[in-house]
């Protein structure tokens, strides 16, 4: 199965936002026969999140969430979104925000999708690198200008093998969020810097609401695809 064939399947299914039992069984067999590797699964998953926008227009946000969960589960049952029963609101100055971020990387098992303006707090960067080394699929989108700033850890992470992409516009990629295991998201004003912990008035929200997680994942997939040609590499920086 190639990407155009996958897009056709998604387009047909997105028209009513439903996958019948028969369609699910047939699609599962096709995916099993295709024996997709992790890179191909990531591409197919990204296309599904893009298609979910059309599903939302047809059947609403809740219907789109159920639809994309079905698709992701078919691609890989171990990666189906499973909202975590957690809601936290944290503030800085202080260590609570940084420690919450670090804890998420230490406990995630499969995926960590990171979309942040800059990373200069070595404690967070070390937690990201550790997660990558133990087999978590980590993807990072960051700002192109900040990636090359003194003290930025983006190049170090790329050198460690973490997949890092940067924007290519005259404007800033200014998000500060991350999604873990497709079940929880962290977001807020909090920059991943030491000064944010020590000095700044910042906030961080941790949520396991399935609709919120799915929305952030869809935005990450959109940006990951948008910046596909802007891979950060220490050799070319």
Residue with tokens 């991350």: 178
pLDDT per residue rounded down to tens, the chain (237 residues): 888 888 888 888 877 777 877 777 788 888 888 888 877 888 888 888 888 887 887 778 778 878 888 888 888 766 545 566 788 999 999 999 999 999 999 999 999 999 999 999 999 999 999 999 999 999 999 999 999 898 899 999 999 999 999 998 899 999 999 999 989 999 999 999 999 999 999 999 999 998 899 889 989 999 999 999 999 987 554
pLDDT at residue 55, as a whole number: 81
**Of these residues, 122, 181, 209, 226, which one is catalytic?**
181
pLDDT at residue 24, as a whole number: 79
**Of these residues, 8, 176, 209, 226, which one is catalytic?**
176
pLDDT at residue 1, as a whole number: 80
pLDDT at residue 58, as a whole number: 77
Q: Answer whether 0.85 is exceeded by the pTM.
A: no
Active site residue 174: yes
**Of these residues, 7, 132, 174, 226, which one is catalytic?**
174
Separation between Cα atoms, residue 6 and residue 77, nearest integer Å: 18
Active site residue 181: yes
Q: Would you say the C-alpha torsion 106, 176, 68, 210 has a positive or negative sign?
A: positive
pLDDT at residue 111, as a whole number: 92
What angle do helix axes 3-14 and 38-59 make, rounded to 10 degrees? Answer: 20
């Amino acid at each position: 199965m190639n990407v155009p064939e996958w897009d056709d399947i998604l387009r047909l299914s997105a028209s009513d936002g439903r996958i019948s039992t028969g369609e699910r069984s047939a699609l599962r067999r096709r995916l099993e026969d295709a024996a997709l590797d992790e890179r191909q699964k990531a591409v197919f998953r990204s296309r599904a999140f893009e298609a979910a926008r059309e599903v939302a227009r047809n059947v609403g946000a809740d219907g789109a969430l159920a639809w994309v969960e079905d698709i992701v589960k078919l691609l890989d049952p171990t990666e189906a979104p499973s909202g975590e029963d957690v809601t936290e609101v944290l503030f800085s100055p202080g260590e609570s925000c940084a420690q919450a971020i670090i804890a998420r990387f230490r406990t995630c098992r499969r995926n960590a999708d990171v979309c942040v303006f800059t990373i200069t707090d070595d404690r967070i960067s070390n937690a990201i690198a550790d997660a990558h080394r133990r087999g978590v699929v980590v993807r990072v989108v960051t700002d192109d200008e900040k990636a090359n700033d003194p003290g930025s850890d983006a190049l170090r992470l790329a050198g460690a093998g973490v997949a890092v992409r940067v924007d290519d516009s005259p404007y800033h990629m200014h998000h500060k969020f991350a999604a873990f295991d497709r079940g929880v998201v962290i977001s807020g004003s909090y920059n991943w810097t030491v000064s944010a912990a020590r000095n700044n008035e910042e906030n961080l929200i941790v949520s396991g609401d399935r609709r919120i997680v799915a929305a952030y994942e869809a935005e990450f997939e959109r940006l990951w695809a948008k910046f596909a040609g802007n891979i950060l590499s220490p050799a070319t920086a």
